[in-house]
Amino acid sequence: MNRIPALEGGCNFRDFGGYETGDGRRVRWGRLYRSGMLARLNGRDLAALSGLGIRAVCDLRRADERSRHPNPTLGPEVIRLHWDEPRESSPLRGVQFEYSLSHAAARAAMTDLYARMPALLARRLRGVFAVLLDAGGGAVILHCTAGKDRTGLGAALILSALGVPRSVIIDDYLLTNVAVDLGAWLSVHGEAGAGLATTAEPVQALAPQTREAVLAADADYLEASFASIEAEHGSVEAYLTSVLGVDATARERLTRMLLEP
């Protein structure tokens, strides 16, 4: 199977099925997709996606991101979902990033951001799992702007719920560094075209060494999310149950739907 399909206007689009679980089963291909922004997909890209059986698109972006770069229509049968928070703004506007003048400081700021994401994104992640449980035999696209941070945590928790080992989940997260060169993608599409302009997402306004740390997929970042979950809730399973509403019964249903027999 092709994990990273060639989409001319795609950003970090890939299938995150095919992984083996701890008990020897395998996540179904063609059911779970993760991506960055979809606004640059062209006609050929949309034709390719039309053959994937997409049931729902879960958009983890903020309202301002969606308004600047709205998703294309993938078909009348495709459900489009998003979740808003009051007074939400980009975390990259925080002083941690504006004054992170070294790569190490920027990595520390990103690690802190990832530690906070399980709480910050709880409402959206709860919605994503509700969509998965309601998708039947259809495929789901989970995406944000770069397809790395918010999407990375979401995909990691889905794979965790399905019983995929942590090391494999980290490897899937790190595939961002192979699937897309985010710095080059910004240059090709232009700051405004990427939705990451100084007046929007302030990535390009950061110091170069800071921006490098922000755009990278770093195993320590995702590990910080897991560590935060385990410190606060005891385990990923407890977080899934108590915060995201995905109890043992729901996880069993997910495994029936998303794992090969």
Q: Look up the CATH number of the domain holding residue 109.
A: 3.90.190.10
- Confidence at residue 174, expressed as pLDDT on a 0 to 100 scale: 97
The answer as to whether 4 is a domain residue is no
| Assigned token pair, 12 | 């970090």
- Confidence at residue 199, expressed as pLDDT on a 0 to 100 scale: 38
Q: Are 19 and 34 in contact (CB under 8 A)?
A: no
The answer as to whether 253 is a domain residue is yes
The answer as to whether 203 is a domain residue is yes
Active site residue 144: yes
Could you tell me the mean pLDDT of each successive run of 10 residues in the chain, 261 residues long? Answer: 90 96 97 95 94 95 90 92 76 57 83 94 96 90 95 98 98 95 71 38 67 92 98 98 97 96 80
- Confidence at residue 84, expressed as pLDDT on a 0 to 100 scale: 87
The answer as to whether 3 is a domain residue is no
Residues 6 or more apart in contact with residue 101 via CB below 8 angstroms: 207, 209, 210
Number of domains into which the chain is organized: 1
Range(s) of the domain holding residue 46: 14-258
Residues 8, 45: Cα–Cα separation, whole Å? 7
The answer as to whether 102 is a domain residue is yes
144, 182, 196, 213: which one is catalytic? Answer: 144
Run of H or E residues at 195: none
Residues 156, 75: Cα–Cα separation, whole Å? 27
Radius of gyration of the chain measured on its C-alpha atoms: 17
What b-and-e string marks burial along 16-46, b requiring 16 or more CB atoms within 10 Å of the CB? bbebebeeebbbbbebbbbbbbbbbbeeebb
- Confidence at residue 91, expressed as pLDDT on a 0 to 100 scale: 62
- Confidence at residue 209, expressed as pLDDT on a 0 to 100 scale: 78
The answer as to whether 105 is a domain residue is yes
The answer as to whether 9 is a domain residue is no
The answer as to whether 197 is a domain residue is yes
SS3 169: helix
